[in-house]
Structure 1
Amino acid sequence: MIEVEVKARIDSFEDIEKRLNELGALKTKKEFQEDIYFNSPVVDFAKTDEALRIRTTIKEGNERIFITYKGPKIDKKSKTRKEIEMGIDDSEKCAGIFEAIGFERVRAVRKNRQYFSYENFEISLDDVEGLDPYMEIEIALEDGSDYSDAQNSIFELFSKLGIEDGFERTSYLELLENIY
């Protein structure tokens, strides 16, 4: 899967949520996420622009856990990249396996995320511990698909929502690493 994603810093969740409602976007869910990031013993993911994480999500008391690999960003305008994800049962056992084969735990990123659906877009409002408010808009495409039209439509949606700047290609992990 190719994840075409653009993120922007926003002034307030309330203002953007109002604009999303006016546009006709539907709030689909709200959940807490904890991402534990790892670095490879072979290559430095910070230098190769890759990511490996274990994500635990909690929604209405239900917990789900995933391993996600994100490949390097494939353009200069967005966070578009290949993503591979699979469900697992136990985050600590998985982390133990990663560490036993040489992966190093880098940092945890915790956030409360509200999801909205609009046309073929998934929109999230992200309240990340230690960061300003952010919004992400993404479209998932099949591997090998041309992503330029999807990327342009994401920027058009940001514009409809009154967001013309504050775009960020840096991950939440990198933003937190740069602060602390």
Structure 2
Amino acid sequence: MPIEAELKARVRDEAALLSALDQLAPAAPATYRDHYFDSPDGAFAASGQELRLRTVQSPEETRHLLTYKAPAVDRESGSKPEHETQVADPRAAEAILRGLGYRTQIAFTKHCRNYRLRSEGRDMLATVVTVPEIDGTFIELETIVPSEADLTPALKTVRAVLRDLGIAEQDLTDELYTAAVAAATASHDPGDRPATT
């Protein structure tokens, strides 16, 4: 199963980071509208699995992606085996998921700038992210590896690229957007559940 070797960090100097990335690759802005699904009792997410229906809107196109992530195989980075496929009809995909017993756990929007890079023979995707419900800016840097045996060297390369971009080791985070959005929503509306539309 392919594994998404990824590290995420909080960004201290967004202008410097964007300048460094702009020298490496053209920016591709996009908006991600994410819906995460879970079983009614929450057991699916509690086991570390993810089931996501994402709409990606860019100036060029709109795409819909269905993604399944298995539990993390690396505790420090949170890297997970991943399967992803494009879907033609997101309403039909959502109906199928609901028919299988899954419900929307949480939904939110990510505003992204994507940069496709290459380092040490690896194709990489750097994404600068803001989420309206969460303070600050994040960078995600990922590469896909074919098996767990290649995960450690891949993460070493990811770390090296982040260092070159000015991201310090202490800025790395395992914070989940889903958890952060849920916490932010609860703190603003204590009596309400997170939006699940």
TM-score (norm. length: structure 2):
0.82
| Greater per-residue strand proportion | 1
Identity percentage over the alignment? 23
Aligned-partner Cα distance in 2 for 1:46–1:84: 16
2:16 maps to 15
1:4 maps to 5
Counterpart of 1:128 in structure 2: which amino acid? V
1:127 maps onto 2:126 in alignment: no
Aligned-partner Cα distance in 1 for 2:177–2:183: 10
How far has the Cα of 1:25 moved from its partner?
1.5
2:195 maps to none
Counterpart of 1:152 in structure 2: which amino acid? K
The secondary structure found in structure 1 opposite 2:17 is helix
The secondary structure found in structure 2 opposite 1:113 is strand
Aligned-partner Cα distance in 1 for 2:35–2:42: 18
Matches within 5 A, 1:29-44: 29-41=28-40, 44=43
Aligned-partner Cα distance in 2 for 1:43–1:110: 21
2:171 maps to 166
Task: Give unmatched runs, 5+ long, in structure 2.
Answer: 186-197
Size of the alignment, in residue pairs?
Answer: 178
The secondary structure found in structure 2 opposite 1:151 is helix
Aligned-partner Cα distance in 1 for 2:45–2:175: 11
Matches within 5 A, 1:130-169: 130-131=133-134, 132-164=136-168, 165-169=170-174
Aligned-partner Cα distance in 2 for 1:101–1:118: 38
Aligned-partner Cα distance in 2 for 1:151–1:43: 30
More contact order relative to length (CA 8 Å, sep ≥ 6):
1
Counterpart of 1:10 in structure 2: which amino acid? V
Task: Give unmatched runs, 5+ long, in structure 1.
Answer: none
User: Which deviates more from structure 2 when the two are superposed, residues 36-45 or residues 108-117?
Assistant: 36-45
User: Which deviates more from structure 2 when the two are superposed, residues 47-56 or residues 158-167?
Assistant: 158-167
Counterpart of 1:67 in structure 2: which amino acid? L
